[in-house]
A and B are shown apart, each in its own frame.
Chain A
Amino acid sequence: MIESAKYRNRIELLQGTLDMLILQALQREPMHGYAIAQIIRNRSGEVLTVETGSLYPALHRLEKQRWVKSEWKLTESKQRAKYYQLTALGKKQLASDHQRWLQLVRAIGAVMEPEVQQ
């Protein structure tokens, strides 16, 4: 009970950002969940670790919103895995998320370091 609340909180905290990160990870090619987690971890220089408990709920939610679609495929090591692929809708969403994110970063930057801006 308590644990489940914890998971929920984390999803909530990361929600918008995590969605964007996942969509971004999928931009080039379809990928399975494990690879998505690895990519985010590697690209962020090991700063952002996506918990499995956040990743899969997020993936399933994105799929429900039709931003990604999934199919079972074999990996290079001949293992069955579920691959997620960006849909057209997902691409649009990613673009707008990215846009908003940039705005936010700029805005926060301006607030935090006003002298740099001037």
Chain B
Amino acid sequence: MRWPWDRAKEDLSEELESHLKMAISERVARGEDPAQAQAVALRELGNMPLIEDVTRERWGWMWLENLLRDTCYALRGFRRNPLFTISVLVTIALGIGATTAVFSVVDRILFRPLPYADPGRIVSLGFVHSLERQEFVMGRFYVEWQKDQTPFSVLAAQSTGVHNCDLVEDKPAQLGCISFQANFLPLFGVSPVLGRNFLPEEDRPNGPRVVMISYGLWKSHYNNDPHILGRTINVDGDFARIVGVLPKDFQFPTLEQADIVTPFALDPAVQQTVNGGFGYPERVFARLKPGVGVVEAYAQMQPLFNDDLKLFPPSAKSETHLSIRTLRDKEMQDVRLVAWVLFGFVLSVLLIACANVAGLMMARGAGRQRELAVRSAIGASHGRLIRQALTEALLLSFAGGLAGLAMAQALIMMFVHLAPTGIPFIGKANLDLRIAVFAALLSCICGVIFGLATALQKPGLAALNAKASMSRSHAFLRRSLVTAQIAFSIVLLSGAVLMLRSFSKIEAQDLGIETGGVLTMKAALPWWRYNTDQKVKNFYLRLETSLRRLPGTFAVGMASSIPPAAGGSQSFRFSDLVVEGKPPTPPGIGGNVTGRSVTPDYFRALNIPIIRGQNFAEQDRTGDEREAILSRLLATRLFPNEDPIGKRFQSDGFRGGAGTIIVGVADNVKNNGLTDQSDPEMYTLRRSVSDDWSGNRLIVVIHSVMPASTIQPWIRSEIASIDRTVPVETEPLNQTISRMADRPRFETMLLGFFALTGLVLAVVGLYGLIAFMATQRTHEIGLRMALGATRADILRLIANDGLRMVVVGLALGLGTALTVSRILKALLFQISVYDPLTYIVVPLFLSLVALVAVLIAARTGMRVDPAVTLRAE
């Protein structure tokens, strides 16, 4: 291979050559003997290669030449030792890849500022109680707070939740609508990308009808039309003028998706009267005044809140609290814990990887002492040796880093693909170069430090003769590294196994309902056309009749919600139930009760057994009596040692009249999500009177012997024959439940993946060290064998060394795992953080794997032939 400077080098050689020739010819001209002249001239000239070296240094680009030479040399070395090279590369790639991928995902959740101006000072505030854990404020109180509050520079309200709305035009579309106040966007420091925010006069009752649209709607529906402003559109039958387009990256602080925003148009007078004088609930956000923290703000709002509380019904008083949270706390909620755990896992993997790289580099350095001694003896300067070691470490880190980046990209794509909905921002995760560089630097530093550790000791002459030997301090350091790796793996594995056990409990639990062959269906009725309960009822009753006619249909039930998802809006307090002839339960006692309004076939469709009394009868749907079925749990709570059948009770919703009669008791079902404790439950009969059909949220449950793929198109066509504009969603219940387990599945999978990565790395480290030590001790082993040691003795000798590290590592790891696993508590389902099985299985498994690694490595030592090793001296 010709380098660009080879010409210059030849030039220099020729120059010196010509110098020499001139010197000789001059001596010959003076009459000296040619042979002697040449010898003298050569002596005068001195060490020619050295002169060339020194001269070349004047050129100023020696370093580049050296670098390339070192690189070639290092590459040759790597080729000669592929096992070492591959182990280091894989280790670095895994370390960098995993860290970068996970950091890229958790970065937005944990570290990156939210996309608002000075987001740390924006808070969400309001009431919370056991039935609604997200802050809300009743309109009446909001009006007062705006007037009387002190800690905030501005407050702004947004409507609770996105509601379906219809865009009525040639290209109709069902959209999500939301509303906020005119000062909402300024509070977040956001301005429309096109047009303007609402004006104060538009944000008033009966103000001019205007809307802002989302960037997504502008792009998809209006093709980024620059003349969109001022256009009048028909939303749910009302005409409104578009005044602005929200920015592309704008996100609602509630993380909801909405296409159309209308002015909130708060009417203080109306808020005093509607909803029992409380006004409508809304989401309120505020910006803290400079110098005011969340704690101070809380203290300053407490008196206002206490005044409001006096107006609350007694049953709600004790359960309602004031809550002020920073926006990040609100948006990230429980994801934060998972993110931190994941981050911790990955940092541990990175540490294990670094320890591995360090161990490998040290082993290589120790193995090369003889080579280094030789190079030093034939004139390589100390600096050159160090440079060489550095070049190797950097090359490895660089190549490993590149592989790591590729791996990170692949992992991120996998995460995004597998991630369940509800993990904020995961779709936006992309490769974070800052962290890739950080991880690369870290592994690079590991490599460099430990690569240098060996190169820095100038090998003495002794190393020339002696078989390569590892110095005592290095041996200790490497042993400690491997021990630490094992300890770390134990911690990671324990965490992962706990998660796995918890997940299997989630999967295996009895939900109390049958899910096979059950299909759920939701129809999104446009409220502005189905604007009376009568119209809603008629739609669903027609639908029920036509669905029942479908072949293979076993039962068609209708319900306001479906377990095991948490009940939500239909829940009420236990203390709201008043059984006739019994004293009422004091407020604040008994927790929540899930309420569901169902048709008689609901129980057949989900195969929920009626264990006492009987199911609602079809003919009762047209009757006058209000009927209820209690869950077993509710029945025992309300009527311990009594027969509940035939008893009557009043509930907050239907006070007065004859009350509700209990006709049966159904078995318990899981009704508060997959992992939370189930609540007692009450089913009320959904009769065919308009009152029972308010609320417009209904799920149809179809139990059929036909496969879902067959029945789904039938359902669609049945609905289309009633009203072809209604959008429909159908999903097998199995799938719904499986989706609910996505979060724990995803978490378990990720943690499991990293724990296994850590384990593999640690075992590779252990194997490497034992194998290395066995090779180092060939001479000693040969001697022992010559003196009569059996192969078993040798195996024991080598394995003992490894097993000692394993045992110490196990002990340390178990101790640490027991201490830190408490962090996982909130993520575990029906599994103690001290789950004995986990802490037995994990060490056993790791010991087994470690034992295999040690034995395989020790075999190298066992195969020593004393005749060969002793003669090698």
| Residue positions of A touching B, CB distance < 8 A | 1, 3-4, 7-8, 11, 32-34, 51-53, 56-57, 60-61, 64, 75, 77, 79-82
Question: Can you list 21 A-B pairs with a CB-CB distance of less than 8 A?
Answer: A1-B379, A4-B53, A32-B18, A33-B15, A52-B46, A53-B46, A56-B12, A56-B16, A56-B55, A57-B51, A57-B54, A57-B55, A57-B58, A60-B56, A64-B59, A75-B22, A80-B14, A81-B22, A82-B11, A82-B14, A82-B15
**Residue of B44, B46, B47, B58 touching A60 (CB-CB under 8 A):** B58
- Would you give the shortest CB distance from A116 to chain B, in whole angstroms? 39
Q: Which residue of B lies closest to A7 (CB)?
A: B54
User: In the bound complex, do residue B51 and residue A52 qualify as a contact, i.e. CB atoms below 8 Å apart?
Assistant: yes
- Cα-based distance from A33 to B60 in the complex (angstroms): 21
Closest 5 CB pairs of A and B: A34-B22, A60-B58, A61-B58, A57-B55, A56-B55
**Residue of B16, B22, B45, B381 touching A79 (CB-CB under 8 A):** B22
Given A56-B55, A57-B54, A51-B46 contact (CB < 8 Å): yes
User: In the bound complex, do residue B51 and residue A53 qualify as a contact, i.e. CB atoms below 8 Å apart?
Assistant: yes
- Would you give the shortest CB distance from B490 to chain A, in whole angstroms? 49
User: In the bound complex, do residue A57 and residue B57 qualify as a contact, i.e. CB atoms below 8 Å apart?
Assistant: yes
- Cα-based distance from A60 to B54 in the complex (angstroms): 10
Contacting residues of chain B (33-48) with chain A, CB-CB under 8 angstroms: 44-47
Residues of the B chain whose Cβ atoms lie less than 8 Å from the Cβ of A57? 51, 54-55, 57-58
Q: Which residue of B lies closest to A2 (CB)?
A: B379
Residues of the A chain whose Cβ atoms lie less than 8 Å from the Cβ of B14? 80, 82
Residues of the B chain whose Cβ atoms lie less than 8 Å from the Cβ of A82? 11, 14-15, 18
**Residue of A3, A11, A60, A80 touching B50 (CB-CB under 8 A):** A3
User: In the bound complex, do residue B25 and residue A77 qualify as a contact, i.e. CB atoms below 8 Å apart?
Assistant: yes
Given A32-B18, A61-B58, A64-B58, A4-B23 contact (CB < 8 Å): no
User: In the bound complex, do residue B51 and residue A60 qualify as a contact, i.e. CB atoms below 8 Å apart?
Assistant: no
Given A53-B46, A60-B59, A4-B25 contact (CB < 8 Å): no
B739 within 8 A of A: no
Residues of the A chain whose Cβ atoms lie less than 8 Å from the Cβ of B44? 52
B21 within 8 A of A: yes
Q: Which residue of B lies closest to A49 (CB)?
A: B44
- Cα-based distance from A86 to B16 in the complex (angstroms): 20
B289 within 8 A of A: no
Interface centre among B21, B45, B58 (most CB of A within 10 A): B58
- Cα-based distance from A56 to B50 in the complex (angstroms): 11
**Residue of B18, B47, B55 touching A34 (CB-CB under 8 A):** B18
Residues of the B chain whose Cβ atoms lie less than 8 Å from the Cβ of A80? 14, 18
B529 within 8 A of A: no
User: In the bound complex, do residue A81 and residue B47 qualify as a contact, i.e. CB atoms below 8 Å apart?
Assistant: no
B19 within 8 A of A: yes
**Residue of B19, B57, B379 touching A33 (CB-CB under 8 A):** B19
**Residue of B18, B23, B47, B60 touching A53 (CB-CB under 8 A):** B47
User: In the bound complex, do residue A52 and residue B18 qualify as a contact, i.e. CB atoms below 8 Å apart?
Assistant: no
- Would you give the shortest CB distance from A13 to chain B, in whole angstroms? 14
Residues of the A chain whose Cβ atoms lie less than 8 Å from the Cβ of B25? 77, 79
Interface centre among A8, A34, A75 (most CB of B within 10 A): A34
Q: Which residue of B lies closest to A75 (CB)?
A: B22
User: In the bound complex, do residue A56 and residue B51 qualify as a contact, i.e. CB atoms below 8 Å apart?
Assistant: yes
- Cα-based distance from A75 to B22 in the complex (angstroms): 10
User: In the bound complex, do residue B379 and residue A53 qualify as a contact, i.e. CB atoms below 8 Å apart?
Assistant: no
Given A52-B44, A57-B58, A82-B15, A7-B50 contact (CB < 8 Å): yes
Q: Which residue of A lies closest to B22 (CB)?
A: A34
- Cα-based distance from A75 to B25 in the complex (angstroms): 13
- Cα-based distance from A77 to B15 in the complex (angstroms): 16
Residues of the A chain whose Cβ atoms lie less than 8 Å from the Cβ of B12? 56, 60
- Would you give the shortest CB distance from A112 to chain B, in whole angstroms? 34
- Would you give the shortest CB distance from A40 to chain B, in whole angstroms? 14
Q: Which residue of B lies closest to A58 (CB)?
A: B58
- Would you give the shortest CB distance from A33 to chain B, in whole angstroms? 5
- Cα-based distance from A62 to B71 in the complex (angstroms): 31
- Cα-based distance from A1 to B55 in the complex (angstroms): 15
Q: Which residue of B lies closest to A63 (CB)?
A: B58
- Cα-based distance from A61 to B18 in the complex (angstroms): 19
- Cα-based distance from A3 to B11 in the complex (angstroms): 24
Chain B positions 763 through 801: 1 when the CB is less than 8 Å from some CB of chain A, otherwise 0: 000000000000000000000000000000000000000
- Cα-based distance from A8 to B15 in the complex (angstroms): 20
Chain B positions 713 through 745: 1 when the CB is less than 8 Å from some CB of chain A, otherwise 0: 000000000000000000000000000000000
- Cα-based distance from A77 to B45 in the complex (angstroms): 21
Residues of the A chain whose Cβ atoms lie less than 8 Å from the Cβ of B50? 3-4, 7, 53
- Cα-based distance from A37 to B18 in the complex (angstroms): 13
- Cα-based distance from A82 to B8 in the complex (angstroms): 13
- Would you give the shortest CB distance from A37 to chain B, in whole angstroms? 8
- Would you give the shortest CB distance from B51 to chain A, in whole angstroms? 5
Residues of the A chain whose Cβ atoms lie less than 8 Å from the Cβ of B23? 34
Q: Which residue of A lies closest to B47 (CB)?
A: A3
**Residue of B18, B45, B54, B381 touching A81 (CB-CB under 8 A):** B18
User: In the bound complex, do residue A4 and residue B18 qualify as a contact, i.e. CB atoms below 8 Å apart?
Assistant: no
Residues of the A chain whose Cβ atoms lie less than 8 Å from the Cβ of B19? 32-34, 52
Q: Which residue of B lies closest to A82 (CB)?
A: B15
Contacting residues of chain B (800-831) with chain A, CB-CB under 8 angstroms: none
